[in-house]
Chains A and B, each alone.
Chain A
Amino acid sequence: MSTAHVPAARTAGAPQAPAPELPPDRAVLPAVIGTAVQRVDAVEKVTGRAAYAADVRLPRMLHGAVVRSPHAHARIVSVDTSLAERLPGVHAVVTGADTARIKWGAFRPDLYPLALEKVRYVGDEIAAVAAVDVETARRAAELVRVEYEVLPAVLSLDEALAEGAPLVHDDAAGNLAHEFSFDRGGADAWFDRSDVIVEGVWQSTRQWHSSIETIGCTAEWSQDRVTLWVNTQTPFLARQRYATALGMPLRAVRVVQTEVGGGFGGKSGDDNTSVICAILARKAGRPVQLVNTREEEFLASRPRIPMRYHVRLGFTSDGLVTAKDIDMIADNGAYTGKAQAVLGAATVRHDALFNYRAVRARSRLVYTNLVPTGAFRGFGNPSADWAVGQAWDLAATRLGIEPPDLFLLNAVEAGSVSPHNHRIGSCELKQCIRRAAKAIGWYEKRAAPTPNRGLAMGVSVHVSGRRSFGDYDGSSAMVRLAEDGRAVVIVGEGEIGTGARTTLAQIAAAELGLPVADITVTRPDTDLTTHALGALASRVTYVAGNAVKRAAEHACEQLLAAAARQLDRPASELWVEDGVVHAPPAAGDDTPVQVPVGVVVRAELYRPDGQPIVGMGAFDNPSEFPDQSRFGNESGAYNFVAEAAEVEVDPATGAVTVLELAAAVDCGTVLNPPLAQGQVEGAIAQGLGMAITERFAWADGAPTRPSFTDYKLPTAGVMPKLHVEFADSYEPTGPYGAKGVGEIALDPVPSIVASAVADAVGVRVHELPITAEKIYWGIHDPDGRAREEGESR
């Protein structure tokens, strides 16, 4: 593969003249951009050599196990660890007394590392054991005797909000963890002027990330400092919170990212596993590894937040949207984590899709005695898009306008500004709507309907990074050119499976003129790499991609300057291609000059006052830190999707089969097609799980069997025929025109499945998941148990 690097300003003999109307680097996209470059980690992964959290092996390492509450709400009367301590092979038992007694949390500190006085959900951590092997640690954990005084619990949103309900936290009156509201544009006046108003209540449900690798950590102390090898998506943000939880200065905690076996928001450092691991290792005086069992992952990770929306939408008779009003309550569970931020995204983000004249919202985050919830791919938008998308689908029916046409009538475009000041840059939403309709064969299928089959469309908008952890959503990188001719990209963002290290390597390769095989992208280590917010909010390609691009440019400038000195030629005559610095033949010579990059780098070092070649680059998302009411342009680039689905319902059983699903995605330039397709395909699968297959039976505040035997992930067999397309799009602020793509394709899936079921058999489900049972009762007992809310007025 050619990796020609042709810096237009510096290069003689560069062949191309950019078309003037295009952004400068769009006309000259390097060959390595937009091609199916092989993943840099592929061989490690297919051979089983990639080392995940549970693959870390340290000398004298012990294994941990956690004692968890069997009660949803209880006072801890006493904890007796003496039996556990006496079990042979046990090296340490810790309780809340061994902690700094500090509450921690990303936004609202309310979680102790190990419970003090009270437990607040089934799974709450009380004590932990370190022993020579996992089995001994678990046996010892069972020997820890905890005496409880069981307290009344609130096990649903309604129970938590009821008058006089027991409080989950004494300092949260009415069990409210967070709330905010706004009225932008005067909603009432616009509803008064509306010809058609639709309304309804829609509720989403808990969904677990279900990464096949569970959360895990290995901790080792050296004097007063602990190193944590963690499968975290966000090593630097996690480090800050872990230091707080341990009551230690930031400098005393080092976090190193292991291979991460799936993240999806669930490994972003809001749970106690790593903190407990560190406390165990300190007391044991030996390294300790603590890895969640699958049961623990279901009981005590941070699943998707169930949200109940009351939605009202107003339209003119010709289909122009006027106003939107939502009243939303969200189930925080027992502790807060990132749910507070998710609440914001789930309230405002979707207003960047359509040209609303007025939007009003009231959103409340409610404590319950259930498993704490948090960030999950989509960050609240799948719940918002499900509820608001259902209202839009009802409106299309009421207005007698086909959904794609209704969306086209109201969709935002480049240059639009949402009521919350989301400033839309590149935007191919309308192109996406047209392409998804075409790919599914919308109008052909409408012309020749098949009984019990239904068709639906949904749209969504997502960010490319989001300013939410303080007034910074940037990234920085260093590119060190090595004397062996390779480049090491030092960046703290990491890899959770999306292919980030591969796309960052492509960007560096393109800028440097090196083959991708000569690029190494580091893993995050809070001691060694640049500071990074990590893999969240679909930000790495956009934010870190820009930082890496600038660092590589900087390194390349130094390389060419060094080569210019060494060759005694002006730098403007030099270029780098396939790892070789090229110059045209010198005067009076006809041999072109070619010097390998490594030779130039070595010669720059091995001389008096020799210098390394290290480029540095930084980029901050050109966005605004939203205020308390979530007003502010949260991202510098927005990505869009339109998805259409065809389903078939068996009226005898209510079983729904998704036959076909078409997704057209605007993520700007596609840097690596198979990787981008993989993000879309995988997101759709998770959306189908949320829509149809993933649920538990519950009793006493916990799933009755927290296991994959009950909680069904989509398998290959349930996947529909997929059509994945990318819009012709270019984001001027993105690296080579790229935007984020990691989350967006999940967002519309529950809504389009529900709308397609309604289209097929006239049954509209109001609470996820969309089960055969709900559809069956909707068909066979439409006025009874399956239908709940008034849908329209």
Chain B
Amino acid sequence: MAVPLRFRLNHEDVEVHLDDPAATLLDLLRGGLGLTGTKSGCAVGYCGACTVIVDGEAVPACLQMAGLLDGREVRTVEDLSGPGGLDPVQEAFVACAGMQCGFCTPGHVMAVRALLDKEPDPDEEQLRQTVDGNYCRCTGYVKILDSAREAVALERARAGEVR
């Protein structure tokens, strides 16, 4: 019997019915909800390709049981950009050539986004620790770190404009 589940997804209330209460958030996003921006790389919480933000924390969606999400707030890469353009983190990855094949990119973008939400002015060590948590097989991380630094600068500039 399907279990009803209500949570906030990308700033909207959603209600889904889970056939399998043990299904992961990753299965739910990519399957029933059709949000394929979140990628599956290992399914054991190791590579970071499926990183999403749940209640402000960057987490691997492959380890989140969907059935435990009731009432929680989930953000995926699809939430970052819209008619207003790209998120500063995305802009930074574009500007710094911070991707090659791009498969790990949404996960890296969400990890940096979560960091900046909690710490708008992270130091180099925090940036490195954040990037260190996600695999990339293409770049050697140099341009991902450049992107993370640029994201801080763009975020700061945008905050300045708002003020």
Report A's interface with B, CB cutoff 8 A: 36, 38-39, 41-52, 54-55, 57, 133, 135, 209-214, 259-264, 293-294, 496-499, 674-675, 677-678, 681-686, 707-709, 713-717, 719, 722
Contacts and interface: CB of A to CB of B under 8 A. Distances in A.
11 contacts: A39-B99, A42-B97, A47-B80, A54-B30, A54-B39, A57-B34, A259-B101, A259-B102, A497-B99, A715-B132, A715-B133
In the complex, which range does the number of interface residues on chain B fall in?
Answer: 35 or more
Contacts of A685: 137, 139-141
Contact of B99 (A45, A49, A707): A45
A42 B99 contact: yes
B36 interface: yes
Contact of B103 (A47, A135, A212, A264): A212
B102 A717 contact: no
B43 A681 contact: no
The residue in A210, A496, A675, A682 that gathers the most chain B C-beta atoms within 10 A of its C-beta is: A682
A133 B19 CA distance: 12
A264 to B, nearest CB: 7
Contacts of A42: 93-94, 97, 99
Given A47-B86, A261-B103, A684-B140, A707 B42 contact: yes
Nearest to A495: B101
Interface in B75-132: 76-78, 80-81, 86, 90, 93-97, 99-106, 109, 128, 131-132
Contacts of B47: 212, 708
B160 interface: no
Contacts of A261: 39, 101-104
A49 B135 CA distance: 20
Contacts of B141: 681, 685, 715-716, 719
B123 to A, nearest CB: 15
Contacts of A213: 39, 41, 101, 103
Secondary structure class of chain A's binding surface, majority of residues: loop
Interface in B41-97: 41-44, 46-47, 49, 76-78, 80-81, 86, 90, 93-97
B157 to A, nearest CB: 18
Nearest to A684: B140
Contacts of B144: 716
Given A46-B86, A48-B37, A682-B138, A293 B100 contact: no
Contact of B97 (A36, A50, A57): A36
B76 to A, nearest CB: 8
A239 B96 CA distance: 36
Given A498-B100, A708-B44, A133 B31 contact: yes
B159 interface: no
Contact of A47 (B31, B34, B77, B95): B77
Contacts of B139: 678, 681-682, 685
A55 B36 contact: yes
A722 B142 contact: yes
B46 A708 contact: yes
Most chain A CB inside 10 Å of its own CB: which residue of B36, B101, B139? B101
